[in-house]
Each structure stands twice: as structure tokens, then as C-alpha cells.
Amino acid sequence: MTSPVTDTTNTAARGAVEVRMEGLSRRYGPVVALDGLDLTVQPGELVTLLGPSGCGKTTTLRLLAGLEDADAGQITVGGADVTRLPASKRDMGMVFQAYSLFPHMTVQQNVAFGLRLRRVGSAQRDRRAMEMLELVGLVTQADRYPHQISGGQQQRVALARALAIEPQVLLLDEPLSALDAKVRAQLRDQIRRIQLEVGITTLFVTHDQEEALAISDRVGVMQEGRIEQLAPPTEVYSRPATPFVAEFVGLSNRLPGTVSGSTVTVRGRDLPLVDAATPAGPVTALVRPEAVTLATDSSGDSGPLTGTVIASTFLGATSRVTVDLGDITILAQLSTADAAGLPAGSRVSLTIRPDPVLVSAADAPAESEA
Amino acid sequence: MAAVTSVGEAPLAAPARPPRGMQAGRRRRLNAFRYVVFTFFTLFFLLPLLALLRFSLEGNTLGTWSIAAWKEIASYPGPPPLLSAVEITLELAVLTSVVTLVLLVPTMIWIRLRVQWISRAFEFLCLLPLTIPAIVLVVGLAPVYNKIRHFELSALMLFWAYVILALPYAYRALAAGLNAIDVKTLSEAARSLGAHWFTVMFRVIAPNMRQAILNALLLSAALALGEFTIAYTLLYVNLQVEMYSISRNTPNASVIFSTSLAALVFAFLLLLIISYAGRRRRRGMR
Amino acid sequence: MAATATAPAGARPVRAGRRLRLPAWIGTTPFLAYVGIFLLLPTGIVVVNAFRGPSGALKLGSLGTLFESTDRGFFINSFELCLISSALGAVLGAILAYAIATGNPDGTVRRLYIAVSGVLAQFGGVTLAFAFVVTIGPVGLLFHASWFYAFPWGIAVIYSYFQVPLMVLVFLPAIDGLKVQWREASESLGSSAWQYWRYVGGPLLWPAFAGAALLLFANALSAFATIVAWENQIAYIVPQQIYLSINSEVGLSNVNEADVLALGMIILVAVIMTGYALLQRRAARWLR
């Protein structure tokens, strides 16, 4: 669902702004949350910060929002330096993870709140609030109170409220984490659709990689206060820059291999390398389960790429099959129809698709788990 | 009725994430405000207590010092009305708190487990004493106590009324404790393993309410230690009544100050200990 | 167990060796009995006796005597004292509660103040009067403030010694219930601190505050010990008058007047507590 950022007609017309963060640092006592972080969000772009708890993604968002002060660094929005500005003056819309709607106000009053603060007349306020409610599809709930609507609806109201003030930047702090899986999928698509329609520069924070991959123009994978890779979703997935990214985003099989020249030899097959300059020697190759294909093996051989199916996990459209190759186990991802033909105990032979492979330092010999 | 902060209770909104900061300017202003507020209230609450302390250490003539008043807590010259009053009141405190617990704990657990439909009415009854001031209760109790007086029993008979007075506080403390544990699941698990109701109540639920039970115990005891109205009106003698009559007869008897202060500090230390005991428990369970 | 004779319809077969089944609510009888004798019975006695004349006959106009000048004076005094002390206690207590709530939820300061409040909220009475006598009385530690003995101001300040802690205990949960997200959302939408309190924080806390203030009022209404120990035999407020009516030094105790006054107090406090309960329900819905 990504839209090329190079389409500037919509964004230019809306006056979307660039957000630039340079050298941001923040510590809480002895804990360093951010260490000299640099990030630039292009006008109209949706960048997602993805990472485990404590990686600094929420801290970055809060520094941008002005809810906390950075220890060092600079934040520029649309060319203006906002580092010293308090949150109330930064003209940003923020959607929180949960509980942020004011319980004593109706949905409409919530959405209109920002306008009321700006002394917009009540007729105009109501009109604008209704516009926003239409955008998120909740016009019928305008007179309800937050405790009377569902979690997903509450977050849509929060989005409407944030957009009502026509902010320069939209910030979303794990807005879907507190919702059920089904609602989560629907809502994230809706958020992305609205974001494209309005054309607003957006920073999204989540720990759910599926979300990040589905809606972002670029994904920034973070760990321990640093961005490990900042790139469009397809690149982050298929050409991970570091082992952490490879393992955090999607699954990886860890297979021992040997590098020589510009390929790595894994179980007798030569695979191209992501980084051609990798020094020769023993390594661990990270192979995606979907790069592994299985076929029934009736030849009775026992080569390095033949094994027995141990189990398969049904995931809906696809299934993940665990294969025992004697010395290690490997995960393969197949369509469920294919997996059905390979019940536990079948002898199979494997092929590994020759996608470029990332390698990391060799594991200790005893460890060979995927 | 709504929750009241009990000693040792966790605050309602416990943050689940790492500590979040606040904007620096706001934090500074907030800290200045808190500093001023705490200084003011510490002085406000401390000064009268310090005055009590000072006067409890007063000698026979004004301006001198003597710790006689504190020694007197242990032994009062001549017939010791104060000592016997202290004794009676301590006994009342124990009696009140024990009876309150015996009355409330099994009943509340039983209701929570088996008779939920009664809990609204039960809550109403427990909180009713808040609505009936002690002085009003005593008007209605007088006829009942007149009959009891017929048998010339001691001031210990006051405990019947004290338990009623303690009901709202003990109920709230125990209810908070019951709310903090999943009574239904625990009892179903125990029953599925073969426990009878008695076992469930006293070996499964009650031990998990230790904090709340301690709280209730302390609140009931504190109530008995500080009670004046009912004892005074029904012409019994307890600690507060005795101190009052001493103050009427010998207004500068420092022993009343030392006794008051001792009782206060005693109750305060107990509450503080409970508060810290609560914290360690929670850490362990996390 | 084969039945050799047809059991009559509706009869429950008694299983050999089993105890008789009792309904579960039997377990609450000890409690009900206790409360019945020592709470409901006295209250009933008060209510019934209030409507009886001295001879024992029914006299329905009793409540009317409450509006006569003597009794009315006591109620007005009570009302004055309670108003001042609960207003004072509510405002000061709210400020203190806010200071506590904005600190470390696990910190020493919070624990200390809650423990202190727990003790002081209960421990008014005679001790309190003594403490204030030696602080600002004739030989007091501080200055001698003779205006303190004028009703109702001095005693109202003394009342705040236990009203403020009670306010802290009752109001603190409400402030804890103010979610930080509301403040942050409000600020990111552009509000100043003042605007936040005016549109969000204030309205949300208002029911809890009003409820707590009502509770303080009821609490002051019932207070007896402190004023007895403070004032020299002069009866100002209703509780004192009730005491005098029961234990009159004149000789014949006028129990009937005590009953009437007591009934008046019950009604007053019942109304206040109903208001409190209603306000608390609203507050609980938002701030839980």
C-alpha cells in the first residue's frame, strides 16, 4: 500500500513539511535512551520506527512532540527550529496508545477540543469536527461518550481529533497495540489511507513488524537508541543491513556456512552475498523460510539437503514446516496446499532460492537452531 | 462507595512502561510547588505535636525540663486511674479489632464466594455507621447499655459499640484486599482440587488478604484508642475520657501529653510498618 | 438406590449419610444479628422515641421543634462550623493530595504522608485539643492567640487538623485516576496549563472533589470530642447539646430532646451521604 514519495503534487498543494532531527540524545538517569539519533522525514512521508521495548522509538516520538526535552540535539520542522518550543506550541497532532480521549466530553466535543482552544467559533468548530468524523467514518457516534464506543472507534476519534487542528506533523504512538488483531488490520489500512489523502508528514511508532511493513514509506529499525536501518519496507525485509534487523523483521534460519570469494556455501549450495566484501571464513547465514522449497524425495539419498518433516504449523494461507536434516533443523514456509502433501515423517529434499544472503559471525558449533 | 487510599495500597494508575519524563520547565515549576506545599504541611502537622512533646517533658514549674511524664506512663503515683484506663483501652483495642475481624472476614469472603446478591445490602450496612454519628448512636444505645449496666460489667462492654464504629473502615480495607485478588478463580481452583468451603476461605483466600487484614486490624485498634464520645456519654472511663478529666482537674499535668503523644506515635509507626510491608510483598509477586 | 415405593411428587429423597443442605446466606447471620442489635436497633429506638411525647404517646410534631430558636441555634452553629472546616479542609487537602500524587508512586514521601493521614484522620478528639492548647493556648509554645477561642474560627482551624488528612485519603485516588495521557493530549492539541485545568482536569476532578467535601462536612458534623475538650462547658453545636440532654446536670435527663436532635442529625447526614454517593459514582466512571 505504499505510495511513491516522489508524488509531490498532493503534498506540495497541502504544504507538507520536512521534519529533521539531528543528534538527538536523551538519558534517564544511568539509562541512555537515545544516543545522537539522526532522522529526516520527507514532506508527506510516513516513516515508522520499529523495534523492541526500550529501543528508543517512543522517546524519539515524545521528543519530537515536545512532551520531553532532549539533552542534546536539534529538531527542525518545515525549516523552523522547534527544539526549545513547548508541546502546546508545536502544531503537531498526536495519537496515543490508549485512554487519551477526554471521558467527560462527547466524541464531537473531543474532536473539536483543539479548535476550541484556538477560539474558533462554535459553528465553524462543529462543521470542522463533523468533517473529521466523516473522514474517519464515525459521524453517527458524534454524541456518544468514549466509554460507549469500542477501542477501535476510540482510536479513530483520537485520529480525527489530532487532524482537526490541521497540524504540520502527525505522530502516532503505537496506536493499534491495545486493539484486537482483526481491528488492528482494518484500522492500520484506514490510517494509511487517511494519511495519504491528507498528505501529512507522519511519524509512526510500533513494535509490530507487520504493521510497519504494511503501511510505511520507510521503516527505521531501532535498537538501543540507534537506528540500525532506515529504508523502504521491501529493502528492510529482503536486504537487512545488520543481523539484528534480519532477525527482528521476519524469521530467519541460521545455517552454518563458509564464505569464499563473493558467495557463501551453505549445505553444499553456493548463495550470493548481500555484502560482497565479506571476508572469507566460517559464518552463519540467515536464510528466510520462504526461500526454502520442499519436494518429496523418493530417491532414498541422504545428502546435505535431504531430511524428514517433523511438524508443520498451520497459519492459514501458508504453513511453516519444520524439517530435520540430521544435524540441524530448518524452517520452510509453503502454501498450505503444498504442505498438506508433506505430512510428518515424509522424506523431503530442499532447495534454497539464490537470494542474496546476509551473514553474521559464526555461531558456536553446538548451536544450530533456526 | 469509592475507594479510599489505604496504607500500603498501590496507586490506581500503575505505569507499565519505563519512566517517562516531563518537559523540563514544567518539572521545575512542579517541584517548587511540591517543596512549598510539603514544607507548609510538615510544619502545620508537626508543630502541635512538637508542642505536645515539649510539654510532655515539662517539669513542675514552667520552663524546666523533666522526663517524669514519660516515666509516669509506666507508674502513676497513688491509685493509678490513668494506668487502669490505659489498660482498659488497650484491651478494648484488641477486643475491638479481633471481634471486627472475626465478624467481617469470614462474612465478606463467604459473601464474595457464595452469596453475591447480598453484597450491595451488606456494603450499605457496613457503611451505615458513617451516616450515624457516634453521638447519635449513643442516644439509641443508652437504653441497651442501661440494661447491661445492670450486671455491673466493666468498660470492656464498650467493644460492642466500637465494632460498629469500626465497620466502615475495616470493611473498606478488607474490600480493597478482596478486590486485589481473583477470589472466584482461586476458589474454583481450590474446589476443583477437592477443598471444602472452610478450607477455601481460611487456607486459600484469607492468607492472600494479609495486608488488608492487617490494615483493618490497625484501623479498628486506632479507633478504640482514640474513642471518646461513646465512653464519655455513657459514663464509662477509657483512656481519652480519663485524660480529659485529668486535664479538667490538673490542667498542666504533663502525663496527659506524654500519653497522647505515645499513643499517636505508636499508631503512626504501626501504619508506616504496614505500608512498607506492603511494598516488599508486591515486589516479590511481580 | 432402587425405590420400592413411589415417592410423593415434590418430595426430596434424603440421601443416607448426608447433612441437611442450608441456603448459603445463612452464613451471614452472625453479622446480621450483630448489626441488627447494635446498629439498627439503636437507630430505630432513636427514630421512634423522637416521635414520642414524655408520657409515651405518639407525637408527630417532634421534628417541628427542630426549627424552634433554641434547637435551630445549635444547628446553625453546627452548620457554620462544618462549612468553614470542610471548605478549609477540602481546599488545603486537595492541594496536599495533588502534591503527593505528582510524586514518585513508590516513594518515601508518599508513604509517609499517607501513613500520617491515616493516623491523623482518625485521631482527632481529646488529643488534638490538648495539642492545640499547648501550641497556641495561654502558655503555648507559639503565640497566644486569644481569637482562637472564639467560636467558630479557632475550632474550625483545629478541625482542619483531621479534615485535611481525611481529604487526602479520600481525594488522592481521584487525582491518581487522572491519566497522564489526558494532560499530554491536551498539551499537544495546544492547551496551556490553565486551559488544561479549566477544560479537562477541573471538570474531571469536580465530582470527586465535591463528594469528598461533602464527606468532610458530614465528618465535622459528627465531631464531638475535640470541641468538648476545647471549649469550657459551653455548648455550641448539636452533638454537645445531645450530650447535655442525656446527662443533664439539672437532674431529670431530657431524653426526648436528645432523640429529636439525633433524628435531625440522622436526616442531615443521610442527605449529605446520598449526595456523596451519587457524586462518587460519577467520579468513579471517569477516573477509574
| Closest Cβ opposite residue B271 in set C35, C105, C118 | C118
Out of C187, C199, C286, closest to residue A88 by CB: C187
Between CA A192 and CA B102 the distance in angstroms is: 61
Chain A's closest residue to C202, CA to CA, is A104
pLDDT classification of A5: cutoffs 50, 70, 90: very low
What is the overall mean pLDDT for chain A? 87
Burial (CB count <10 Å: 0-12, 13-18, 19+), residue B112: buried
Residue B80 has pLDDT above 60, yes or no: no
pTM listed for this prediction: 0.79
The per-residue pLDDT for range C215-238, each reduced to its tens digit, is 888 888 888 777 777 776 666 777
Q: How confident is the model at residue A352 (pLDDT cuts 50, 70, 90)?
A: confident
What local confidence, expressed as pLDDT, does residue B187 receive?
87
pLDDT per residue over A221-274, tens digit each? 999 999 999 999 998 988 888 888 888 888 888 888 888 888 888 888 888 887
Residue bearing cell 496536599: C96
User: What does the pLDDT read at residue B68?
Assistant: 61
Cell of C74: 445549635
Residue A232's pLDDT is: 95
Give the closest of B17, B19, B23 to A87, CB-based.
B23
Residues of A in contact with B19 (CB under 8 A): 28
A99 or B79, greater pLDDT? A99
Residues of A within 8 A of C285 (CB-CB) are 103, 147
Average pLDDT over residues B73-81: 52
* Element (DSSP H or E) covering residue C144: none
B70: pLDDT confidence band, cut at 50, 70 and 90?
Answer: low
Task: Give A151-171 pLDDT, tens digit per residue.
Answer: 999 999 999 999 999 999 999
Please write the tens of the pLDDT for every residue from C10-35. 344 444 545 667 787 788 888 999 98
The residue in chain B having the minimum alpha-carbon distance to the alpha carbon of residue C140 is B51
For residue B158, what pLDDT is reported? 84
Quote the minimal CA–CA distance from A193 to chain C in Å: 23
Per-residue pLDDT tens for A30-78? 888 898 899 999 999 999 999 998 888 999 999 999 999 899 999 999 9
Residue among B93, B218, B166 nearest C38 (CA): B166
B22 touches chain A (CB under 8 A): yes
What are chain C's partners, defined as 3 or more CB pairs within 8 angstroms? Answer: A, B
Band (B285; pLDDT cuts 50, 70, 90): very low
Strands A347-352 and A292-296: antiparallel
Q: What percent of chain B has pLDDT over 90?
A: 9
User: What SS3 state is found at C150?
Assistant: coil
Mean pLDDT of all residues belonging to chain B: 76
Closest CB from C179, C182, C195 relative to A117:
C195
B146-149 long-range contacts, Cβ below 8 Å, gap at least 24?
none
pLDDT digits (tens, 9 = 90+) for C60-96: 666 666 666 677 777 787 888 888 989 999 999 999 9
What mean pLDDT comes out for the span C267-276? Answer: 85
Least confident interval from A124-128, A185-189, B51-55, B113-117: B51-55
Q: Which residues of C touch A171 (CB under 8 A)?
A: 188
**Res. B118: pLDDT tops 50:** yes
Nearest to A225 by CA among A54, A40, A47, A50: A54
Nearest to B264 among C27, C119, C258 (CB): C119
* Selected residues 25-84 of chain B with any CB under 8 Å from a CB in chain A: 25
Instruction: Please determine, for residue A119, whether its predicted confidence score (pLDDT) is greater than 80.
Output: yes
Adjacency order of strands within the sheet including A292-296: A292-296, A347-352, A306-314, A318-324, A329-335
Distance of CA A356 to the CA centre of its chain: 22
Instruction: Look at residue B13 in the predicted model and tell me its pLDDT.
Output: 39
CA B18 to chain A, closest CA, distance in angstroms equals 8
pLDDT at residue B286, as a whole number: 34
CA distance C278 to chain A (A): 16
**C-alpha distances in Å from residue C56, one per residue of A277, C63, C68, C255:** 110, 16, 22, 12
Stronger pLDDT, B15 or A236, i.e. the higher one: A236
Among the partner residues B104, B115, B169, nearest to C24 by beta-carbon distance? B115
Q: Are B226 and B240 in contact (CB under 8 A)?
A: yes
What is the chain B residue with the closest CA to C237? Answer: B135
Instruction: Express as a percent the part of chain A with pLDDT over 70.
Output: 93
Best of C104, C189, C192 to substitute, by most chain A Cβ atoms within 10 angstroms, is C189
Give backbone dihedrals phi and psi of B250, rounded to 5 degrees, phi first. Answer: -125, 90
Q: If you search the block for the grid coordinates 482537526, which residue do you land on?
A: A164
Cβ pair A87:B21 closer than 8 A: no
Residue contact A66–B19, C-beta within 8 A: no
Residue C129 and residue C212: Cα distance in Å, rounded? 24
Q: Chain B contacts of A68, Cβ < 8 Å?
A: 20-23
Q: Please state whether the peptide bond connecting residue B207 to the residue before it is cis, i.e. omega within 30 degrees of 0.
A: no
The rounded mean pLDDT for chain C is 77
Asked if A216 contacts A227 with a C-beta cutoff of 8 angstroms, the reply is no
Q: How close is the nearest chain C Cα to the Cα of B266, in Å?
A: 10
Neighbour tally for B160: CB within 10 Å: 18
Shortest alpha-carbon distance between residue C187 and chain A (Å) = 5
Could you tell me the pLDDT band of residue B239, with boundaries at 50, 70 and 90? confident
ipTM reported for the complex surpasses 0.90: no
Residue C78 one-letter amino acid: S
Range A263-270 contact pairs with CB under 8 angstroms and sequence separation of 24 or more: A264/A357, A264/A359, A266/A352, A266/A357, A267/A304, A267/A305, A267/A325, A267/A352, A268/A303, A268/A304, A268/A305, A269/A305, A269/A352, A269/A354
